[in-house]
Chains A and B, each alone.
Chain A
Amino acid sequence: MRHRLFEEWLFSQDDLNSAQKDLLDKHKQNCQRCQSLEAAWNEVSLYMEEQDWMAPDEDFGQRWQSRLKQYKVMEQQKHAYWAFLLTSGGALIFGIPFLISIFTTSPLLEMWSFFYRVSSLVETIQRWLSFLLMIFQPLGVLIPSALGIGIGFTVWGSMLLWLILMRRLHLIGSDKNGRE
Chain B
Amino acid sequence: MARVEEKNPADEVYWLEQALHGDADGFMHLIELYQKPVYNLCYRMLGNREDAEDAAQETFLRAYHHLQKYDRNRAFATWLLSIAAHHCIDQLRKNRVHLVSIEDLGLGDISDPLPNPERKVVQKDEQQKVQKILLQLSELDRAAIIFYYWYDMTYEEISETLHLSLSSVKSRLHRARKEMAIRWLEQNPSTRIEVGRKRYETPVI
Contacts and interface: CB of A to CB of B under 8 A. Distances in A.
Contact of B181 (A37, A51, A57, A71): A37
Contacts of B32: 61
What 8 A-B pairs have minimum CB-CB distances, sorted nearest first? A41-B181, A36-B192, A11-B177, A54-B43, A40-B181, A40-B184, A56-B39, A53-B40
A55 B109 contact: yes
Contact of A53 (B37, B131, B182): B37
Give the bracket for the number of chain A residues in contact with chain B: 35 or more
18 contacts: A11-B174, A15-B170, A32-B192, A39-B195, A41-B178, A43-B188, A47-B123, A51-B110, A51-B127, A52-B109, A53-B36, A53-B40, A54-B43, A54-B52, A56-B53, A60-B39, A60-B56, A60-B57
B31 A61 contact: yes
Given A56-B56, A57-B53, A43 B192 contact: no
Interface string B96-118: 00000000000101110000000
A96 B60 CA distance: 47
A45 B178 CA distance: 11
A36 B130 CA distance: 17
Contacts of B130: 44, 47-48, 51
A62 to B, nearest CB: 9
Interface in A104-150: none
B195 A35 contact: yes
Query: What's the dominant secondary structure at chain A's contact region?
Result: helix
Contact of B182 (A40, A68, A71): A40
A8 interface: yes
Nearest to A71: B61
A175 interface: no
Nearest to B175: A11
A47 B192 contact: no
B35 A50 contact: no
B61 A68 contact: yes
Nearest to B134: A48
A19 interface: no
A156 B192 CA distance: 80
Interface string B167-191: 0001001100110111011001001
B35 A61 contact: yes
